[in-house]
């Protein structure tokens, strides 16, 4: 992979490799483990991505924050003991290509399917993620069916967003969508969503753009090829049970995740591709 002037390969103290981007447009970090972006800060603005202060950056462990890639299933699998949210978020991806122009920097990674446990995923397929970085961030996750039969999957781009005060944060743009929470529903979202308890809402029929209103400003969150999304904050009790997460960090984060879940799951015919897209920027 040929690097550009603003891009370098670096390592954490624990040995994890990441792509470091320091440009006139933004600063960013993308880890090869999980194909996971953990920093995105447009020049002259506040960060748009949150990572736990307790994160240890350990080999084989999903990073608590950034944008974990949940693939090829979201949530817990019907088979007990299989990894939550699939295997992509803990797999080692390969850097594929870097392109830099005056307008943006594009970094693409691919998941080496020959290393995937075929018990988890017996299908012939390709998985690629592209990060398009400027004063905004766009993440594109593309699955291609290389098999001779169709397969289905669910997925999410599990974005962690920062806020200085979750109780003074709300999400606009979900009104009219259907949601299930804690296995109950579906319900219709009637109003702007605030946070005063554990929140784990899985939305379908959701509009393609939402706005997160925080004390630091408004974050615009877009999706493409997705009519479902997930809104999450662990609140007090669950925070105590999460790995790499301080007990009080629920106050400074929330997740709004572009997804293909429930009746928005993807079925791909042979040789078909599907690209899940999320975009984030300060409004």
Summarize pLDDT for 52-88 with one digit per residue, the tens: 999 999 999 999 999 999 999 999 999 999 999 999 9
- CA 168 → CA 160, 163, 165, 175, 209, distances in Å? 17, 9, 5, 19, 20
Q: What is the residue-wise DSSP string for 7-31?
A: EEEEE-TT--EEEEEE-SSEEEEEE
- Quote the CA–CA distance of 165 and 39 in Å, as a whole number: 20
- Token pair in block for residue 31: 């880890």
pLDDT tens profile 138-196: 999 999 999 999 999 999 999 999 999 999 999 999 999 999 999 999 999 999 999 99
Q: How many CB atoms lie within 10 A of CB 158?
A: 24
> Using CA atoms in the order 82, 86, 90, 95, what is the torsion angle rounded to 10 degrees?
150
* Residue 155 phi, psi (nearest 5): -165, 165
The yes/no answer on whether domain 7-282 falls in CATH 3.40.50.460 is no
Tell me: pLDDT of 109 over 90: yes
Q: Cβ(100)–Cβ(1) under 8 Å?
A: no
Per-residue confidence (pLDDT) for residue 2, from 0 to 100: 72
Give CA–CA dist 240/102, Å, rounded. 45
pTM over 0.95: yes
Alpha carbons 251 and 236: distance in angstroms, whole number: 9
pLDDT in tens, 245-267: 999 999 999 999 999 999 999 99
d(CA 45, CA 49): 12
Task: Look at residue 260 and give its three-state secondary structure.
Answer: strand
Length of the chain: 283
Every domain of the chain and the residues it spans: 7-282
* Catalytically active residues, by annotation: 158, 257
User: Has residue 279 got a pLDDT over 80?
Assistant: yes
Summarize pLDDT for 222-249 with one digit per residue, the tens.
Answer: 999 999 999 999 999 999 999 999 999 9
In the block, tokens 């974050």 appear at 219
Within 10 angstroms of residue 178's Cβ, the number of other Cβ atoms is: 18
């Amino acid at each position: 992979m040929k690097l550009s002037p603003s891009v370098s390969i670096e390592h954490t103290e624990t040995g994890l490799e990441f792509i470091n981007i320091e440009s006139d447009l933004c600063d960013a970090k993308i880890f090869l483990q999980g194909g996971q972006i953990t920093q995105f800060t447009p020049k002259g603005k506040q960060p748009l991505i949150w990572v736990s202060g307790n994160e240890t950056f350990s080999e084989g462990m999903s990073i608590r924050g950034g944008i974990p890639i949940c693939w090829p299933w979201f949530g817990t699998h019907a088979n007990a003991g299989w990894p939550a949210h699939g295997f992509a978020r803990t797999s080692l991806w390969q850097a594929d290509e870097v392109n830099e122009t005056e307008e943006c920097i594009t970094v693409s990674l691919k998941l080496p399917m020959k290393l995937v446990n075929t018990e988890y995923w017996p299908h012939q397929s390709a998985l690629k993620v592209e990060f398009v970085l400027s004063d905004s961030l766009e993440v594109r996750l593309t699955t291609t069916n290389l098999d001779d039969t169709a397969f289905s999957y669910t997925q999410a781009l599990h974005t962690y967003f920062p806020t200085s005060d979750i109780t003074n944060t709300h999400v606009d743009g979900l009104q009219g969508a259907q949601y299930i929470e804690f296995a109950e529903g579906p319900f219709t979202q009637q109003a702007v969503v605030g946070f005063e308890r554990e929140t784990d809402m899985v939305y379908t029929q959701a509009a393609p753009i939402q706005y997160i209103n925080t004390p630091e400003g408004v974050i615009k969150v877009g999706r493409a090829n997705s009519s479902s999304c997930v809104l999450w904050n662990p609140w007090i009790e669950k925070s105590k049970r999460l790995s790499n997460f301080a007990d009080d960090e629920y106050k400074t984060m929330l997740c709004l995740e572009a997804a293909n879940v429930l009746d928005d799951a993807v079925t791909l015919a042979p040789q078909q591709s599907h690209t899940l897209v999320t975009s984030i920027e300060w409004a």
